[in-house]
Amino acid sequence: MRPFLHRLMILSLLFWLVNSAAGLLLLPRIPLNLHEKHHWMLAHRDRDFAVAVLGSSRALNNVDAVTLQSVLGSSVINLGAGGSNAADQY
């Protein structure tokens, strides 16, 4: 039983190392799907915004960031996400 556990531990460690290395090498090559909200937010992570709209699908669908930006005169981003609640946002 002991050699089996030893081999299982070595195999698990080897799998973890190979999986981690593959993830680090392949992650930069995976294109972002800008139609998915979390990918769209990642594409905008290097920009600075003066106003961020947070909330559920109501904020996502009912707050127009372009209109708000023209009224306020500052940069606005809408980070509302469908199917989310207050615990998901904060």
Chain Cα centroid distance, residue 19: 21
The residue with greater pLDDT, 88 or 58, is 58
Tell me if 83 sits within 8 A of 56, measured CB to CB: yes
Once rounded to an integer, what is the mean pLDDT over residues 49-78? 91
> What are the pLDDT digits (tens) for 12-40?
999 999 999 998 888 778 787 777 777 88
Tell me if 76 sits within 8 A of 69, measured CB to CB: yes
The partner residues of 78 in beta bridges, in order of sequence, read 53
Once rounded to an integer, what is the mean pLDDT over residues 75-82? 87
pLDDT of residue 89: 66
pTM: 0.56
